[in-house]
Amino acid sequence: MDTKELLKKVRKIEIKTRRLSDHIFGGEYHSTFKGRGMTFSEVRQYQFGDDVRNIDWNVTARYNEPFIKVFEEERELTMMLMADVSGSGLFGTTNQFKKEIITEISATLAFSALQNNDKAGLILFSDEVELFIPPKKGKSHVLRIIRELLEFKPKSNRTDIAGALKYLTNVLKKKAIVFVLSDFIAEDYERTIKIIGNKHDVTGIRVYDEREETIPNLGMVQMQDAETAAVRLVNTQSKSVRTAYSKYHRERVDYFKDTFTKAGCGVLDCRVDESYVKKLLGYFKRRG
């Protein structure tokens, strides 16, 4: 992808996702993810309806009339996006690949963080951490995140969610909002997500294609594994083959939901041909 084409794609993503974050998600994001607490702002005269527990007795005694302490939310937060860039992301049977939806959702969340003056960072992972962008503020930083999501070429096609989560614990010492975006066709991350869930506010966003759920009856079909590159002939006429595949896929989905839920983390499903806008907005409203 040349520079001109890349900038055009970045601009297109920016226009679409920034509009969403400005008009839809900004307020929901703010109300869903609270700051670290309340910090003292000022003292003002008591007004009818104010909480008497906030009366500043020292100032009240000095001026012989009631004054209260005013507090405001200490808002600044850190958001970390963890995007799966393994080979299975390059799959989609409608108008978009899973990878493209992950990019759009990530951009929307990053602009929501920007609008609320929060830091945003990015981890791209396969079966290794491919790229780490430390959390920072600013529009230019968010645009860099989008550029990397669009053009980064991973070294590996495989997936290791546990390894990426372990890396996160090493680079983020303070509590953060963490979004893990993947198809979650993986396993063995239960122990790690428990540790992460105790420290951070974590949401797993599963991006998937409906054609991944079942195998249609198409006779003998040559199939290639997007992550291992292994090629094999599959007899899709066989009911037992189709049933075994559907069972395997269902087990991966159930493992994702059960593991995240037990760890106290949020879960969200986004199908590539459905509106992730409605899904995200509904999730934020439920949590807010």
- 20 or 125, which is more confident? 125
**21 falls in which pLDDT band (50, 70, 90)?**
low
With bands split at pLDDT 50, 70 and 90, how would you rate the model's confidence at 257? very high
Q: What is the mean pLDDT of residues 9-36?
A: 64
The proportion of the chain whose per-residue pLDDT surpasses 70, expressed as a percent, equals 85
Q: What six digits make up the tokens of 125?
A: 């992972």
User: Are 270 and 276 contacting, i.e. CB atoms less than 8 angstroms apart?
Assistant: yes
Give residue 232's pLDDT band: very low, low, confident or very high (50, 70, 90). Answer: confident
Is the pLDDT assigned to residue 73 strictly greater than 70? no
Q: Who has greater pLDDT, 3 or 286? A: 286
DSSP 17-35: HHHHIIIIIHHHHHHHS--
Is residue 234 over pLDDT 90?
A: no
| pLDDT interval class at 3 (50, 70, 90) | low
Could you tell me the pTM of the whole model? 0.79
Query: Could you tell me what percent of the chain has a pLDDT over 90?
Result: 44
Q: For residues 196-222, give the mean pLDDT.
A: 90
**Strand 129-136 vs strand 119-125: parallel, antiparallel, or unpaired?**
antiparallel
What's the 3-state SS for 157-222? Answer: CCCCHHHHHHHHHHHCCCCCEEEEEECCCCCCCHHHHHHHHHHCEEEEEEEECHHHCCCCCCCEEE
Tokens of 182: 């993947």
User: Does the pLDDT at position 126 exceed 90?
Assistant: yes
Domains of the chain in start order, with CATH, are 3-32+76-287 (3.40.50.410), 37-74 (no CATH)
CB 13, CB 146: distance < 8 Å: yes
Q: Give the chain's length.
A: 288
- Round the CA-based radius of gyration of the chain to a whole number and report it: 23
Element (H, E) at 65: none
278 versus 163: which is more confidently predicted? 163
**pLDDT at 71 > cutoff 80:** no
* Cβ–Cβ under 8 Å, residues 127 and 158: yes
Q: Which residues fall within 8 angstroms of residue 227, CB to CB, at 6 or more apart?
A: 86, 87, 88, 157, 158, 159
What's the burial of 114, exposed, middle or buried (CB within 10 Å: 0-12/13-18/19+)?
Answer: buried
Lowest mean pLDDT among 6-20, 134-148, 150-164: 6-20
Summarize the chain as % helix, strand, coil (round to 5).
45, 25, 30
Looking at the predicted structure, is the pLDDT value of residue 1 above 70?
A: no
